[in-house]
Amino acid sequence: MCLAIPGRVEEITSDGPIRMGRVNFGGVVKKVCLDYVPEIAVGDYAIVHVGFAISKVDEATAEETLATFRAMGVLDEELATEEEAFARAADRPQSNCPDGSCALPDSATSTEPQLLGKKYRQ
């Protein structure tokens, strides 16, 4: 949650005392506070963290970073709606006891890679 995602400023509005805008992150549009980047204009790119633009950035860097984060799979997480965030959490059951002793290895899941290390970690 420390990543700032680059996006293009599509609109600048005033929301009472603070400067707000709509920023497009490769197709997902969010309402973003622009108070920390007073020099920003419509058409500029900014890096945005938890709904706040923290720095202006050139278009080439923005596209490059966006591609990197998309490949890392963190875009979906950063820009998730509330429903998506809860759906993701629902998919990750937790052990019920604090020491984890009731958590069994998840060998039932097909995504579990082979444990290479078994014979080396006796």
Binding interface with other proteins (CB under 8 A): 1-4, 17-18, 30-33, 35-38, 47, 49-52, 54-55, 57-58, 61, 64-65, 68-69, 71-74, 77, 79-80, 82, 84-86, 88-101, 103-106, 109, 112-113, 115-117, 120-121
DSSP-assigned beta bridge partners for residue 12: 21
Q: State how far the Cα of 42 lies from the Cα of 12, in Å rounded to an integer.
A: 7
Residue 45: CB atoms within 10 A of its CB come to 24
CB of 63 to other proteins, least distance (A): 11
- Which residues are CB-contacts of 75 (< 8 A; sequence separation ≥ 6)? 5, 25, 26, 28, 66, 69
CB of 69 to other proteins, least distance (A): 7
In the bound complex, what is the minimum distance in angstroms from residue 21's beta carbon to other proteins?
13
Instruction: Tell me whether residue 35 or residue 42 sits nearer to other proteins (CB atom).
Output: 35
Torsion sign (Cα): 62, 64, 66, 68: negative
Residues 6+ apart with CB under 8 A from 6: 25, 45, 46, 47, 48, 57, 61, 62, 63, 65, 66
> Of 43 and 104, which has the nearer Cβ to other proteins?
104
Residue 10 or residue 31: which is nearer to other proteins going by CB?
Answer: 31
Closer Cβ to other proteins, 43 or 63, answer by number: 63
Tokens of 86: 């809860």
Q: Closest approach of Cβ 28 to other proteins, in Å? A: 10
